[in-house]
Amino acid sequence: MDKQQQQIGSVAESAEDALQHIIEGFQRFRQEVFPQQQALFKKLAHEQTPRAMFITCADSRIVPELITQSDPGDLFVTRNVGNVVPPYGQMMGGVSTAIEYAVMALGVHHIIICGHSDCGAMKAVLNPDELERMPTVKAWLRHAEVAKTVVAENCGCANHNTLGILTEENVVAQLDHLRTHPSVAARLASGQLFIHGWVYDIETSEIKAYDAEEGAFRRIGDGPLPMATPRARYLPN
Ligand SMILES: [Zn+2]
């Protein structure tokens, strides 16, 4: 066997291992986990009433159900590279569709946008040269450009934690975009919907939440829960 064939063989082997791990996990779920929660799955078979919509990064290290200890049916999750929410009207894509469905059809009362530490998308926003080979990612991350400008104009480039600040500013920017969606704006105005901006730290498990009144992120668990929701202006219909 020549070297090239050997390499192809070892790639195939590790790809097979990865899939095998997933299949074995599914079998364990079916045989051990599912029987213990059968009542829950029976209840969920024909309806969902999630507690919240959760918009986060596609990063494999962020597991919304794990970090909020939620069950199936609890969270309506939408994930994408950089936990981005395109402003309304710019892109009738998956994120906008999920938001409209969650608010109008499911009537969720909370939307959480959750960024995270060590985010590859945020690193790419800081170093756009890396994106030359990935034109789709580059185009998508234009929706995070606003955060980069806010940081560049206000924080100075010598700051050692630019990535951390950019990650927070990106969450603030995506909250702003979220409010441009008519379904969201209408229910915020009548106090039926609450929006939240979080940043999750992979290494420590800490979550910081955006406090709109203070204009700052504060740890969840230190004092009252930080709120990102603007004040309601109408009584609900
Ligand atoms: Zn990320």
Q: What are phi and psi of 171, to 5 degrees?
A: -65, -45
16 and 77 inside one domain: no
30 and 134 inside one domain: no
- The CATH number that applies at residue 183 is 3.40.1050.10
Residue 16 belongs to some domain of the structure = yes
Taking the mean position of all CA atoms in its chain, how far away is CA 161? 21
Mean of pLDDT over the chain: 95
Residue 230 belongs to some domain of the structure = no
pLDDT band at 145 (very low <50, low <70, confident <90, very high): very high
Percent of the chain clearing pLDDT 70 (strictly above): 98
pLDDT at 158: 59
95 and 129 inside one domain: yes
**CA 206 – ligand 1 centroid, Å:** 16
| In the predicted structure, residue 1 carries a pLDDT above the cut 80 | no
pLDDT band at 228 (very low <50, low <70, confident <90, very high): very high
- In whole angstroms, what is the distance from residue 202 CA to residue 103 CA? 29
pLDDT at 155: 85
**CA 94 – ligand 1 centroid, Å:** 18
Residue 128 belongs to some domain of the structure = yes
pLDDT at 10: 87
28 and 61 inside one domain: no
**CA 198 – ligand 1 centroid, Å:** 13
Residue 55 belongs to some domain of the structure = yes
Q: Name the residue range of residue 178's domain.
A: 48-219
Residue 226 belongs to some domain of the structure = no
Q: Within a 13 Å sphere around the CA of 29, how many CA atoms are in the beta-carbon half?
A: 7
132 and 185 inside one domain: yes
43-102 per-position pLDDT tens digit: 999 999 999 999 999 999 999 999 999 999 999 999 999 999 999 988 889 999 999 999
Domain count, the chain: 2
**CA 81 – ligand 1 centroid, Å:** 6
133 and 203 inside one domain: yes
37 and 63 inside one domain: no
185 and 147 inside one domain: yes
pLDDT at 9: 86
Residue 146 belongs to some domain of the structure = yes
CB 82 within 8 A of CB 142: no
More confident residue, 3 or 214: 214
Output the pTM of the full model.
0.94
14 and 109 inside one domain: no
Q: Which tokens is 186 given? A: 């209408």
- In whole angstroms, what is the distance from residue 223 CA to residue 183 CA? 31
Average pLDDT over residues 8-34: 94
**CA 101 – ligand 1 centroid, Å:** 24
93 and 115 inside one domain: yes
32 and 149 inside one domain: no
| In the predicted structure, residue 159 carries a pLDDT above the cut 80 | no
Residue 225 belongs to some domain of the structure = no
Average pLDDT over residues 188-214: 97
Residue 231 belongs to some domain of the structure = no
| In the predicted structure, residue 204 carries a pLDDT above the cut 90 | yes
**CA 199 – ligand 1 centroid, Å:** 10
**CA 149 – ligand 1 centroid, Å:** 19
125 and 39 inside one domain: no
Query: Tokens 């906008």, residue?
Result: 96
CB 73 within 8 A of CB 50: yes
More confident residue, 188 or 7: 188
pLDDT at 90: 84
**CA 129 – ligand 1 centroid, Å:** 18
**CA 113 – ligand 1 centroid, Å:** 12
